[in-house]
Amino acid sequence: MAIRKLLLPLTGTAAGEAALASALTVARVWNAHVLALHVRVDSRDVAPLAGEGLSGAMIEEMMTATERESLARAQAVRSMFDGFVAASGVRLGEPAPGERVPTASFASVTGREEDLVAQLARLADLTVVPHPEAAEEVSSSDALHAVLFDSGRPVLIAPRTPPAQIGRRICIGWNGTAESAASVASAIPWMQRAEAVRILTSDDYQRRGPAAQDLTEYLALHDIAAEVASFRPVDREVGAGMLRAAEEFGADLLAMGAYSHSRLRQLILGGVTRHVLEHARLPVMMNR
């Protein structure tokens, strides 16, 4: 299946700018449309958080300030979007029916970001999200986890530094789980266009399910020639070993399943998904 529509939640941070650059790169690869979405905070949501002891006038003042800040942020995000698109060669606006050229449009809505992003992602072929900020916990990336857990669609985590290309050399992080199988299904169109594909496997990562060699036979039915490479953990981190193996291959896209163990366990104890989310320097496409 070709990629025709990308969803890009934008907040206006530096990581958001890098995600926009990555989304436009994908749009040029697939002649796809990018819908950049900025979700404004609803000032009415401030009132329940204000707590007791505040007068009506104080709450109204807080709501007014929230609305003012939200409007200023939305204007800044739109300005950033317009500048990037103008410099990218991607046409601003919706594509005409049957038209196959890279395009981009912007929408600003009010509501809860995680709810709106998850809903809109269900009718997007791919959602591109910013890399978690250096000062943030992965658990605070609401848009990322909303897509992973509530959309049924793949998510592409953009690196902090926009890549020059995406999808020419692809690594598949394989461990035999349903999540990794979903990631393979999403990556098949990419792999069919790639110059080289490598399946990354490790005894420390494999779960009960098909082995990497079984995957190569399956991919061959899709006219994809993939090689298998084993990797070892780095400093006891399986995720670090996978990322090192991807970098040694010169990969510009890593596809893998997310949270084969429970999300809570990985957020508390760590895990492959969390390590990759926090430390990846290449685009990572995940499925749950």
Cα-Cα-Cα-Cα dihedral sign, residues 107, 110, 114, 119: negative
CATH number, span 5-157 = 3.40.50.620
Residue owning tokens 């890549």: 163
Alpha-carbon gap, residue 17 to 39, rounded angstroms: 16
Cα–Cα distances in angstroms (integers) from residue 137 to residues 59, 264, 268, in the given order: 30, 13, 11
Q: Which 8-state DSSP code applies to residue 12?
A: S
For residue 274, give the 3-state DSSP assignment: helix
Does the domain formed by 169-287 have CATH 3.40.50.620? yes
pTM, two decimals, is 0.88
At 134 the pLDDT is: 43
Q: Where are the domains of the chain?
A: 5-157, 169-287
Judge whether 5-157 and 169-287 match in fold.
yes
Per-residue pLDDT of the chain (288 residues; tens, 9 = 90+): 789 999 999 987 667 889 999 999 999 999 999 999 999 876 566 555 555 556 666 666 666 666 777 788 888 899 999 988 988 889 999 998 888 999 999 999 988 888 999 999 999 999 999 887 644 444 447 778 888 889 999 999 999 999 999 999 999 999 999 999 999 999 999 999 999 999 999 999 999 999 999 999 999 999 999 999 999 999 999 999 999 999 999 999 999 999 866 555 445 444 898 899 989 999 999 998
